Amino acid sequence: MNKTPPSPGRLIAASLGPGDPWLITRAAWRVLESAPCWAWPESRQEGGGYAIAIVQRAGLPLPAHTLPLAFPMTRDILVLARHWQAAAEQVLAVLNRGMDVVFLVEGDASFFATFGHLQRTLQAMDPAIQVEIIPGVPSPLAAAALTRRGLCDGDQSLALVSATVGMARIDRLLTDFETVVLLKVRPVLDPLLDLLQTRNLLDKARFVERAGAPEERVVDNVWSLKGTQVHYLSLMIVHCNDGEAALGDRR
């Protein structure tokens, strides 16, 4: 009889890309097909089950063990910390049975993703837990592909920021960078459009919502969005200082 406890399983972040199951990497696909347990964030509000929706669209069957982790859509740090703590405890219990857990991540795990919270909380509980991160296609690159226009090249520079950093900050970025990608534009869409108009950049901007998902939308005339509601997974690409590329205009 073997009384040795099993070695703990590994926590594997599987980045799934922005929404199109074809944009899942072969590495993530392999791990989804073989892992005994998937965990993913869920929320009663919209978007909370976005990651699991991607693998469902891919037609992959659920594994034997599943861990939907409940999260509220809140910016209250104490509430979030309590939920991450509870989520990490659930994951740790599975890992301690010797089972690998694959955490499903929309986009890429290192890029504006919540995986870092789970990783930190879990490793604070047990520093010996092994973590593997499978990178993926981030939404700005899927969006750029849809617009058929590169984000940057040569000696150019690219800023990627949450649009919630404030209009004064965005105004400076629009001066300093060739290309600025603004994530999470929903709560500030109207002031952002006003800024782009003031800076005479409306025709240099492209709006992309849910790149890769069935409901994906690319809007060239961004001013037409004024006063409308957009999805929370939406971004704006601004080619604010494109000038002439090395071999001619980039259009």
Q: Measure the CA angle with vertex 88, ends 86 and 90; round to 5°.
A: 70
Check residue 84 for interaction with a second copy (CB under 8 A).
yes
* Binds a second copy by CB under 8 A, chosen from 10, 29, 86, 223: 29
Distance of closest approach, residue 215 Cβ to a second copy, in angstroms: 18
* Binds a second copy by CB under 8 A, chosen from 92, 159, 222, 240: 159
Positions in 169-228 near a second copy (CB under 8 A): 169, 177
Inter-residue contact 105 to 16 (CB < 8 Å): yes
Distance of closest approach, residue 2 Cβ to a second copy, in angstroms: 32
CB atoms within 10 A of CB 239: 22
Stretch that binds a second copy, among 43-51, 103-111, 197-205, 227-235 (CB under 8 A): 103-111
CB atoms within 10 A of CB 185: 23
88: left (phi over 0), alpha (psi -120 to 50) or beta: alpha
Whose CA is closest to 136, among 209, 36, 212?
212
Check residue 79 for interaction with a second copy (CB under 8 A).
no
Whose CA is closest to 68, among 40, 103, 94?
40
* Residues of the shown chain interacting with a second copy in the complex, contacts defined by CB under 8 A: 13, 15, 17, 20-27, 29-30, 77, 80-81, 84, 108-117, 119-121, 124, 131, 133-138, 141-142, 144-146, 148-162, 164-165, 169, 177, 245-250
